[in-house]
Every structure is written in structure tokens, then in C-alpha cells.
Amino acid sequence: MNSIILLAGARILTPLMLAFSLFVLLRGHNEPGGGFIGGLVAATAFALYAKATSTTATVQALRMQPATVAALGLALATLAGLWGLIGAGNFLMGMWPLLATAADGAKVGLPIGSVLLFDIGVYLVVVGSVLTILLALEDDVAEAERRPEAE
Amino acid sequence: MADVTNGLEARIALGGSSDLRRFAPALASIIVFGIFCTALPPVAAGETFRFVWPWIPALGIDLSFVVDGLALTFALLITGIGALVLLYTAAYFQKHPGLWRLLTLLGLFELSMLGLVLADNLIVMFVFWELTTITSFLLVGFDHDKADARAKALQALLVTAAGGLVLLAGLILLGALAGTYEASALPALGDMTRGDPMYVVVFALVFVGAMTKSALIPFHFWLPNAMAAPTPVSAYLHSATMVKAGIYLLARLMPALGGTELWFWTLTLFGGTTAVLASVWALRQSDMKLALAHTTVMALGTLAMFLGGGTVYALAGAAAFLVVHAFYKASLFLVVGIIDKQTGTRRIEELGGLGRRMKLTWAITLLAALSMAGVPPLMGFIAKELQYEAALGAASSPFLVAGFAMAANAMMVAIAANIALRPFLGRTTEATAAASEPPFAMWIGPAVLALGGLLFGLFPDVLGDFLVEPTISAKAGEPTEITLKLWHGINVPLMMSVVTLAGGGIIFFAATAIRKRLAAAEAGGLWDAERGYDRALGGLKATAMWQTQLIQNGRLVHYVWWTLVSFAVLLWSAIVIGGGIGVPTLPSLAVVEWALLGLIAFAAVAVPLTQSRTTALLSLGILGAGIALLFVLYGAVDVAITQLLVETLVVVLIAVALLRLPRLRLPRGSAAPGVAWGRLGLSALVGTGVGVGLLAVLATPFDRTITDFYDAASVPDAFGRNVVNVILVDFRALDTYGEIAVVVFAALGALALLRVKPAKEPSGDQA
């Protein structure tokens, strides 16, 4: 879409929304948010970018095909599961390498581990899957417009 | 150096191929055969070997295998004949590009069959049972570029696999009755299983399974059709092994299910009818392989009949005949394969004078055919004497069993004479003019089997002590002694044998006339069990076609319609069964909530009424946003955010697709008036159903156990205060894992649908 206003807006909004999506992803464990919502925000950011520029530019901005992003996300989630399987004997068991047990039995340290890895996987799956469908749809429509006789 | 010369000799002897690896499967099979032979003396002494590995202990299913007399007899037949057939195949298919595929499949089949007869656990046995079905499907359809072979392989698969499913039901029922799946534990529980009211059902299910596998009437038709398989396959599967699986099953379950009137009569009648009719059909064939296939059906019928006989003699008759038949039938199949290979035909009227050119082959054929005809001193004679002895003491009806057996055996004599004499005597024909002896690897198999028939006949004690006695001990559930003899003195069975041979001779000389009569009768539309199969298959296809066109005709509207119809049916049945519609009490709502509800209702009504797709889309957006706001009002912030974001993205997605969608409104009068009302009605049903359902859910007291657990455990166990997210990524992460996998696959599916363009129609077709 050739709109200067949209393009200028997207240039500013897309990075902001992406940063915000990461924020939502990370805060999700304690406040409303998480991988799914963060992924949706990021997908919206890229959707805006795709509207303002083109599908090719969006894929370039992603650095890879959106389907690869989705697959990567699934791979990360699997990895998080295997981590629990190897570390604690159960697939997807939460692993907390940065937590230690204090003298009084309380856990101290940074609560980051396999659960966050899993959430990042969810995030990437959502971004990748939504964009896969969206960009394929855009391409399909663009192609149909190029050859109107096909209708 | 010695190796080189040996190899050279072998190469010359075996017909000149350089790759001796093709004999490896036969060698492996011979080694296994040898190992099983070492088990003969202890098993003959009454010992059994049992091997158990845990598999699914929770269901009482272990990988348990047992080597007793019955299993060992079958295992020896499977590995011994398997070795000879594999050897024969290596020569028969020497230059065939599919040689290794065939050897591999035969090997896999051999393993499945071994598993089937050795398995002690009924469920494990069933697994191997199905494996033999699958491998035999691949073997029958070996020439997969021929439509005919494919159709016949499919027929064998469908008939035996359908029977397999029936059998599975029977086995599970039996396991439930007896409380165990171990076949070796069943004899002790026999009285209990036979006394149960479900006994008839179990017996019927198991018997149908055995009937389909062992080609008893009315499921016999697949076996002659399976002759589309290469000859070595037929010799192996359809003489000695697979088709005997049903007989094996009946023998194995006899201690649990046998001994009732139902058992005696069902087996006698089905087995006897099959035996006699199959013999008649065999007479009608001029293709020797088909004739042999029908005589195999006859043998299976005979075996079933004697298993139904109930006495020890009947069991001994069945056990001896089992071994005898495997020997002569495999031998004859392989001989027919040799004749086919050397002359190019199996039709009896195109053959003649082969005796002068293939003396060795003739000798083998004669030996095997004499055993088949039951002429002393061959093993076939002993088996036949035992049969007659057993028939006279049959528990069901001596007269019936003896009649069936004599009629079938007389026809066997004629067919044996037909195959052993007609191709080898008489004038040389066009096909036989250039025939010569086959290579060593091809004649050794049938020769060993035919000689075996002679040796067992001369030394019947070997057969009796090592195979028949242990076999029937395993079947009868108790040690049994029986003496096999060539000469019993002049008694009734001997007289019956004489009559049988005489009758067979008469039939042999009248064979051509009989064949013509039978052909005429068949042309008149007699005996058509296969038509039932065709009808059933046709009906199945038609039903599938009908329901596919009804539900999945490619129009999205239809898919949505049927999805919603199913949903409405489920929903309303749940409501009606669950106690009907209660009168809902309207909660008191604040003004903001009323306003939101009004907005949602307004948007919902606007969607179907508007003429513009954009308006409809925006109305849907408003509806979604209204619901999100409701979530916010009730404190479900996570859900609200998700809802809003999804709504946003849906609008974006649909906006893109909008350009590609057809016009919203069809021209007036193009759709039937009933359609719109139908859709309205369905929408109302689903909408009110969801509403009523939700109210019903809210009306039941809320069980807080799980909620409280998550609330309490979230921070100490999972270190997160947002319970919703903790549930998603930690407590119930496996659910989420499944969901994101589905999301990825859905995206890939959409990608495939969008990227793959439908093939352009040829321009010439379009005016």
C-alpha cells in the first residue's frame, strides 16, 4: 500500500510494538501478559509493517520465512520439555537453574528457566503462524490482482 | 582357494548367477529350523518352554511366548518349508528385479507367522495375526503393476483383516471371561468359559476370525483368488502357513472353547461342507495352480471338521493331516511352479509328454501326489486311516463326518492323479517341446518335501512321537499317547480307504466330462459367494461417496452448516439429558453492563442484515471488542487482552481475504427460500443452546478444588503470580504444547492451500 503516512507511522510504531511485545512476554509470569499475548502483539506489529511496505520487505525484516519462525518456536518449546525430561524425569517439568534453596527452605535467586524458554517458544509459534497465513494470503491476493482474467 | 572352487561349483549347480547372497535368507531359515529341532526331544517328553517380557503390564499384556507341541509343530513347518521356499525363490526369481523385495517380504512373513504360533498372550498373537495379514497382502500383490493382482490382494486383505477385527473382539471378550490373556492358562479355565452366558458370542467371534483366515465357506473365495501371487508365495502362504493360522487358532483355543455341542456341530458342518464343495470346485479347474488352491480349501475344511470331532483320534487325524498336507501341498505347488517356468503354462490341457523330458520332476510329482491320494506306504495313507478311524468315533455324527471325508478324499485322489499323470504322459505339445529339468535350487525343495512324505510313511513313529503326540497333548490339554502304524490289519478304515481309491479312480477317468458339466453349471450362475463380497464393497463405496458429497462437497457453507448441526445436536442432547432448561434468574446488572450488552446485541444483529461485507466485518469487530470489555469488567484481564488482539488480527486477515471473496448477496431468487429460514433456525438453535448451556453450568455449584490448588501452588511451586500464565506454561504446559503444535500445523496447512494453485484447465476444453 503506497501511503506515506502509514509508512512513516509504521516506521515508528512497529519497533515500539515489538519492544512492547517483549515486555508483555516477560511480565507474563507475574502480571497479565505472556507468550501468547506477546506473540499476538508482535504479529500485529508485523502485520502493520506488511500493510505499510510489502510482504517481501516483511520477510526481510524477519530475516527468515515466517513458517521457519513458527517451527523454531515449536523447537524451543520441545527443547524446554526435553530439559525437564532429562533434568527432572518428566517432559515439560519446570527447571529453575538460577534458583537456590536458602537455609530456611525458601527459594532465592532469579526465577528463570525452562518455563520462560517454553513461553518464548509459544511467542515465536504465534508470531510465525499468524504471519505465515497473513503473508501467504497477501501474496495470493496480489497475484490474483495481477491476472484479473483468472476470475 | 577352496572357497573359490566351492563357489564356482555352487554357481554352476545353481544356474549361473554370481550373487550368492540371495541364498542367505534360506540359510537363516534353515538355522532357525535347526534350533527348533533341538527342542523336539524335550517337548516330546512333555516339557514346554516359556519366555516372558513385560509389555503393557497394566492391561495384563506381556510379550509371552511358549514352545509346546502345537507351537513347535507349526514352527518347524514354517521354518522348514520357509527355508525350502526361500531357496526355490532365489532360483525362480533369479533375474527378476523384484527378487530382494520378494525375499524380504517372505522373510517378514515368516517372522510374523512364527510370532503368531509361538505367542502365548492372545493379544500378542493377534498383533502377529494382523502382521501376517499385511505381509500376505503385499505378497499377493507382488506384481503390483497388474490391476488384477492389486484387486485380489485387496480382497485377501479386506476379508482377512475384517475377520481379524472380529477375532480381536472375540479374544478381548474371552480375556474378560477368563481373566487372563495367556493361552497357556486357558485349559484350566475351560469349564468356566464354556459355562458363561457369553460363551456363544466368544465362540462365534473367534470362529468367524478363523473362518476368514482359513478360507472356510462362505469366506473361501479369497484363497483361490490369491493365486495371483507368485508361485513360491502360494506354495508357502497358501499351503503350509498362513491359511493354517485359523486352524491353529481353533486348536489353540480348543481347551477353552471346545467340547460343546455347538463346537462339534459348527466345526463339523462348516468344515465338512467346505471340504466337499472345495473338492468339487477343484475338479472343475484346468489351471493346476487353481486346482491346488481349491484342494487347500478342502484341506482346511477337513482340518476344521476333525478339530470339531472332539475325540483324541480326531485330533490325531487333524494333526497328522496338518503335517502331511503341508508336505505334499507345498511340494506340488513348487512342482507346478517348475512346470510353469519351464513350459510357460499351467493349464493341464496344454501339457503332455513331460515325463520324457523332466524325469526328476515327474518322480517328485508322483511321490507327492501319492501322498495326496493317500496310497500306502506314504504318510498321506496314515493320515487318511487316522481320519477314518476318527470319523467313526466322531462326537457329532460318525456318519456325516465319514461321508464328508470319503467324498472329499475320493476327489483328492482324482486331482492328484490328474496332476501327476496328465502333464507327464501322452503326446508332447507345443508348450512342452522345449522343456528341460529345472536347476538344483528349484527341484531340491519339492524333492525334500516329497521324500519327507515317504520317510514319515515308512517310519510313522517319528511323526507320531515327535509331532502328533505333543501337538494333540497341547490341544487336548493333557498328555496323550497314540501309535501311528502303516498296517492296522483289515478293518473298517482300510475298507474305506479302498473305496476311496476306487472312487477316485472312477472320477479321474471321468474328469474331463465332469469338468465340462461343472463349467456349464458355473456359467449358469451357481455358487457365487464372491458376489456378496463385491456387493458389500460396492455398498461401502457408495455410502462413502454419498456421505462425502453430503458433508464434504467442497463448499465452505456446507462444512460450517454440518459442523454447527452436529454442535447443536450435541449441545441440546446434553441439555435435555442433563435435566432440561431451568428458569434462569436474571442477575442485576449495572448500567454500564446493560450498555455493553446492548452494543453487542446491536452488532450481532447488524452482521447478517447488512448488505456490505465491510459493515459486517466492522460489526463483528465491535461484537468482539464488546465481549473483551465484558472480560475487563469482570477482572479477566488476560482473556480480555487476548480477545482484543485476536479480534484485531482477525479483522486484518479478513480484510485481506475480502478482496478475493465473491459477492455477499446472491441475486434474488437464486437460492431456495427455505435455505435462509433453515440457516436462521440453526443459528437460533446454536445461540440459545450455548446460552442455556452456560446458564446451566453457572447454576451448578462451582467446585473450587482445582482453582484453590492452582492459587495456592502458583507462587511457591512455579514462582509466578499470574496464575493464568503459570497454568498455561507450567502446570498444564503439555496442553499448551499440543496446542502450539496444532497452530504450527494449521499455519503450514493454510500455506500449502494458498501456495498450491489448482491446475489450470486445458484451454481447449473451454469454449
Whether B646 and A40 lie within 8 Å, measured CB to CB: yes
Whether A34 and B722 lie within 8 Å, measured CB to CB: yes
Whether B754 and A125 lie within 8 Å, measured CB to CB: no
From the list B645, B729, B751, which residue is nearest A37 (CB)?
B645
At B53, list the grid cell.
517380557
Is B167's pLDDT higher than 90? Answer: yes
Q: How many CA atoms lie within 13 A of B596 on its CB side?
A: 16
pLDDT of residue B221: 85
B728 interfaces chain A, CB cutoff of 8 Å: yes
**Inter-axis angle of helices B261-284 and B245-257, nearest 10:** 160
At B231, list the grid cell.
508361485
Find the mean pLDDT for residues B151-167: 91
Q: Which of B218, B222, B365, B380 is closest to B299 using CA atoms?
A: B380
The model's confidence at residue B479, banded by pLDDT at 50, 70 and 90, is: low
Q: Which of B149, B159, B456, B438 is closest to B326 using CA atoms?
A: B456
Find the mean pLDDT for residues A83-95: 86
Do the beta carbons of residue B218 and residue B320 sit within 8 Å?
A: no
Give B672 or B491, the one with higher predicted confidence: B491
Chain B residues closer than 8 Å to A47 by CB: 649, 652
pLDDT of residue B144: 86
What part of A 114-133 touches B (C-beta under 8 Å)? Answer: 115, 118-119, 121-122, 125-126, 128-130, 132-133
Find the mean pLDDT for residues B106-122: 93
Give B9 or B445, the one with higher predicted confidence: B445
Question: Smallest CA–CA separation between A139 and chain B, in Å?
Answer: 9
Residue of A nearest to B722 (CA): A30
CA pair distance A107, A111, nearest whole angstrom: 9
The model's confidence at residue B749, banded by pLDDT at 50, 70 and 90, is: very high
Chain B residues closer than 8 Å to A81 by CB: 733, 737
- What is the tens place of the pLDDT at every residue in B721-742? 888 888 888 888 899 999 999 9
pLDDT of residue B98: 85
Whether B744 and A31 lie within 8 Å, measured CB to CB: no
Residue of B nearest to A28 (CA): B725
C-alpha pair distances (Å), B686 with each of B94, B475, B572, B610, B690: 67, 61, 9, 21, 6
Residue of A nearest to B753 (CA): A136
* CB-CB neighbours of A38 under 10 Å: 28
Find the mean pLDDT for residues A23-36: 88
CA pair distance B583, B2, nearest whole angstrom: 98
Residue with grid cell 465319514, as numbered in its chain: B402
- What is the tens place of the pLDDT at every residue in B681-690? 898 999 988 9
pLDDT of residue B4: 43
Residue of A nearest to B752 (CA): A136
Residue of A nearest to B659 (CA): A141
B637 interfaces chain A, CB cutoff of 8 Å: yes
Question: Smallest CA–CA separation between B337 and chain A, in Å?
Answer: 55
Find the mean pLDDT for residues B615-635: 88
Chain B residues closer than 8 Å to A88 by CB: none
Q: Is ipTM > 0.85 here?
A: yes
- Please, where are the H alpha helices in B95-198? 99-118, 122-140, 147-178, 186-195
Strands A99-101 and B49-56: unpaired
Q: Which of B156, B485, B475 is closest to B322 using CA atoms?
A: B475
Whether A34 and B638 lie within 8 Å, measured CB to CB: yes
- What is the tens place of the pLDDT at every residue in B700-717? 777 888 888 888 888 888
Whether B737 and A40 lie within 8 Å, measured CB to CB: no
Do the beta carbons of residue B564 and residue B557 sit within 8 Å?
A: no
B650 interfaces chain A, CB cutoff of 8 Å: no
Find the mean pLDDT for residues B443-465: 85
Find the mean pLDDT for residues B350-375: 87
Residue of B nearest to A108 (CA): B719
Question: Smallest CA–CA separation between B634 and chain A, in Å?
Answer: 14
Is B201's pLDDT higher than 80? Answer: yes
Chain B residues closer than 8 Å to A136 by CB: 750-751, 754-755
CA B379 from chain centre, in angstroms, equals 33
Give B396 or A62, the one with higher predicted confidence: A62
Is B373's pLDDT higher than 90? Answer: no
Strands A99-101 and A107-109: antiparallel
Find the mean pLDDT for residues B333-358: 85
pLDDT of residue B172: 92
pLDDT of residue B347: 85
What part of A 8-27 touches B (C-beta under 8 Å)? Answer: none
The model's confidence at residue B217, banded by pLDDT at 50, 70 and 90, is: confident
Is B762's pLDDT higher than 60? Answer: no
Question: Smallest CA–CA separation between A12 and chain B, in Å?
Answer: 19
Which of B211-225, B394-408, B595-609 is the least confident region? B394-408
pLDDT of residue B8: 41
Is B3's pLDDT higher than 50? Answer: no
Whether B743 and A96 lie within 8 Å, measured CB to CB: no
**A-interface mutation test, from B632, B740, B753, most A Cβ less than 10 A away:** B740
B663 interfaces chain A, CB cutoff of 8 Å: no
Whether B648 and A44 lie within 8 Å, measured CB to CB: yes
pLDDT of residue B504: 84
Is B509's pLDDT higher than 50? Answer: yes
Residue of A nearest to B652 (CA): A47
Q: Which of B186, B210, B239, B193 is closest to B68 using CA atoms?
A: B186
Find the mean pLDDT for residues B111-134: 93
From the list B656, B720, B725, which residue is nearest A137 (CB)?
B656
Whether A134 and B652 lie within 8 Å, measured CB to CB: yes
Chain A residues closer than 8 Å to B751 by CB: 67, 132-133, 136
Whether B740 and A77 lie within 8 Å, measured CB to CB: yes
The model's confidence at residue B662, banded by pLDDT at 50, 70 and 90, is: low
B744 interfaces chain A, CB cutoff of 8 Å: yes
- What is the tens place of the pLDDT at every residue in B229-279? 888 888 888 877 888 999 999 988 888 888 888 888 899 889 988 998 888
Is B342's pLDDT higher than 60? Answer: yes
At B486, list the grid cell.
502303516
Do the beta carbons of residue B411 and residue B504 sit within 8 Å?
A: yes
Give A19 or B762, the one with higher predicted confidence: A19
At B73, list the grid cell.
509343530
A36 interfaces chain B, CB cutoff of 8 Å: yes
Cβ-Cβ contacts under 8 Å between A and B: the total is 142
B158-167, B238-247, B449-458, B672-681 — which one is most confidently predicted on average?
B158-167
Question: Smallest CA–CA separation between A41 and chain B, in Å?
Answer: 7
- For the whole model, what pTM was predicted? 0.71
Find the mean pLDDT for residues B364-386: 87
Chain A residues closer than 8 Å to B733 by CB: 81, 92, 94, 115, 118
Whether B653 and A137 lie within 8 Å, measured CB to CB: yes
A92 interfaces chain B, CB cutoff of 8 Å: yes
CA B16 from chain centre, in angstroms, equals 39
**What secondary structure letter does DSSP report for B66?**
E
